[in-house]
Structures are given as C-alpha cells and as structure tokens.
Amino acid sequence: MRGGWSWTRGRALAASALLTAGLLGFHSAVPNAAGRPGSLMEAFLPWLGLAVVVLAGLALWRRSAAAAVAVALPAAVWAYLFGGLLLPAERAETDIVTVQHNVSDENPDPAGTARALVAAEPGLIALEELTPAALPAYASVLAADYPHHAVEGTVGLWSKYPLTDVRRLAIRPRGIGEDWNRGLRSSVRTPHGEIAVYVAHLPSVRLGVRGFGSVLRDESAGLLGAAIAAERLDTVILLGDLNGTVDDRGLAPLTSRLDVPRRGLAFSWPAAFPVARIDQVLARSATVRDIRTLPATGSDHLPVAARVRLGRP
C-alpha cells in the first residue's frame, strides 16, 4: 500500500486488537453457560498470541498508526500472562523432580515407555491409563529405581521415597459406574519432610454440536479440590492428566488452591502436534520452578517433567 502512515486507516484492525486484548485480559468474563464457550477459549488461550502477530502484520501492511498502537495492548497483555513461561528455567535448588504421564491404554510399548521416564531421573513418577495387562511391564522396569509404589484403579505412583497412608480418592462424578477409579493420595517421606502427593485423571472433555462438554470434568475437579482443601499435610503436589489447562475456569477448584509452574509452556497433548498442556504438576506450600515435555512415547500424550522446590520461596 502506497503512502505514509495514517491514523484514519485500519480502524477495524484497531478494534480487533482491542477485542483481542479484552479476551486475553478478561477471559473469565466470557459466559460459560450453554456449550461452555468460556472454557473452550481458555483451553487454547495462549494461542491468541497468534492473533496479535497477524494483527501486527496487517497494521504494518496497511500502514495504520491507530492499529499499530492498538496492537501494543494485546501484545502487552499476552506478555504479562504468558511471557514469563518462555523465560529460561530458573537456576535454583530443586528438592524433587517429578514426571507425569498419561501412558495411554493403547500404548504398544509399556516397557519402553517406562525406560524413557526413568531416563529423566525423577524422584516421583505418576502414571494414568494403566491397564491390568500393561501394569506388570511398568512395574518390572520401574522396580529397581522406584521400590515404593501404589496403584488404585488406572492411576499409579512410583517413588524413590517411602509411601504411607495410601488411599483411593473419591472423585467419581455422578452417573459414572462404580468401577471408575482414577485417583489416589499418598504420604511421601522425602529427605525434606513428609508431603502429600495426589495422582488424578479427570474425565475427558468433548467438543461436539452441543459445545464444550466439560460437565463431568468440572464436577470431578470440584471433588478433587475439596479433598486437597481437607489435606492435613501442609505441602501437596498434584500430578495428573486433568484434561484442562491451568487457565480453564473448570479447574478453578484446583488452581485456586495450588500454585502453577513458573516456567515452561510444555504443551503435552496431542503428542503428534501438541496444542495444550492438560498434564499438570501443581503444588501447595511448594514451588513448581519449571515444567517441560519429554520425548514422545507410545502414548497420545507427551510426558512432562517438573522441578519442585518444597516450602515457600
């Protein structure tokens, strides 16, 4: 486009930039009634950064001064919300390295998956979608380095440290069969003190003609949040496939009580082209310094590894 920069061109672009800034900064104001559009948008909230890039390019092409100035607002909001996650990992002392992985009930190589997780040298490994057929393979590979383990239903915890007071979590939503068991809680005696570790696999969400189907996931998240709120130990680490991002209001019963990672986007699903981190490591009275993905296994999720500092910073 010929000519210099103009304040009158690109008003629609400027309006779009302001709308993008509003969605980023006030996403919780998007209604979550029929179809749960608010949760759907929040599941992919970081990707609104692409809209900022497109708008900036169009503002440059149109030589619109108004649009260029307006684009600075969503860029600043995005940087405030997500920019810190892109910074290098903090070089600080770590007490525990944890690995969280939905191994998939269709994983063709359980033993290879277990060996890949051990290579990260974590102190704790949480697994979901364990099947009776695959469990012996995981247990066999992990036994040498992780002598302490507990399995409840389809979730399991392997630990270098002793486990005590292991119990099943009552996070089954109404209407789901009694054989559904996807949560456990255990005390872990670490060299830095006793902590509570929760492993959970919340119900899946579905996107269909009726919108974003997260009712069961949200109900289960509420039950899990209540269990953590009642936890007697100060320090809690939650490892799990929560089928939601930390920005999704459906996980508010958890994110309102637990701190999220300080560094790392770590998109974990789907493994072929990850667009969201639904595998989470959250903590109370502890700091998740950073989170990262590990190489792909035979699962449709990528494993995530997190460095955790126990106690408040």
My answer on whether 148 and 292 are in the same domain is yes
Question: What dihedral do alpha carbons 155, 159, 164, 166 form, nearest 10°?
Answer: 0
Instruction: Decide if 192 is inside a domain.
Output: yes
pLDDT tens per residue, range 229-250:
999 999 999 999 999 999 999 9
When the pLDDT of each residue in the chain is averaged and rounded to a whole number, the result is 95
Q: Which of 86, 116, 141 is the last residue of a domain?
A: 86
For residues 308 and 96, the answer to whether their CB atoms sit within 8 Å is yes
My answer on whether 200 and 234 are in the same domain is yes
Instruction: Decide if 303 is inside a domain.
Output: yes
Name the least confident of 5-14, 66-75, 96-105: 5-14
My answer on whether 78 and 134 are in the same domain is no
Q: Flag whether pLDDT at 260 surpasses 70.
A: yes
My answer on whether 218 and 134 are in the same domain is yes
Q: What is the mean pLDDT of residues 137-159?
A: 98
Q: What is the mean pLDDT of residues 29-46?
A: 91
| DSSP letters for 11-30 | HHHHHHHHHHHHHHHTGGGS
Q: Flag whether pLDDT at 201 surpasses 60.
A: yes
Q: Provide the β-strand partners of residue 201.
A: 241
For residues 268 and 278, the answer to whether their CB atoms sit within 8 Å is yes
Q: What is the mean pLDDT of residues 203-207?
A: 91
Q: What is the mean pLDDT of residues 129-138?
A: 98
**Where does residue 94 rank: exposed (0-12), middle (13-18), buried (19+ CB within 10 A)?**
middle
Element (H, E) at 100: strand 96-102
Q: What is the pLDDT of residue 184?
A: 98
My answer on whether 23 and 116 are in the same domain is no
Q: Flag whether pLDDT at 1 surpasses 60.
A: no
My answer on whether 55 and 100 are in the same domain is no
Closest Cα to residue 86, out of 125, 39, 138, 49? 49
Q: What is the pLDDT of residue 213?
A: 87
My answer on whether 82 and 109 are in the same domain is no
My answer on whether 258 and 163 are in the same domain is yes
Instruction: Decide if 1 is inside a domain.
Output: no
What is the domain count for the chain?
A: 2
Structural domain harbouring 37: 11-86
pLDDT tens per residue, range 44-92:
999 999 999 999 999 999 999 999 999 999 999 999 999 999 999 878 7
272: left (phi over 0), alpha (psi -120 to 50) or beta: alpha
My answer on whether 126 and 77 are in the same domain is no
Q: Flag whether pLDDT at 296 surpasses 90.
A: yes
Instruction: Decide if 195 is inside a domain.
Output: yes
My answer on whether 24 and 105 are in the same domain is no
Q: Flag whether pLDDT at 18 surpasses 90.
A: yes
Sheet with 155-159, edge to edge strand ranges: 148-152, 155-159, 124-128, 96-102, 304-310, 286-293
Q: What is the pLDDT of residue 208?
A: 78
Q: What is the mean pLDDT of residues 132-143?
A: 98
My answer on whether 233 and 133 are in the same domain is yes
Q: What is the mean pLDDT of residues 86-102?
A: 91
Closest Cα to residue 288, out of 304, 305, 307, 303? 307
- How far apart are alpha carbons 1 and 88 in whole angstroms? 39
For the chain, what percent of residues have pLDDT higher than 90?
88
Q: What is the pLDDT of residue 91?
A: 80
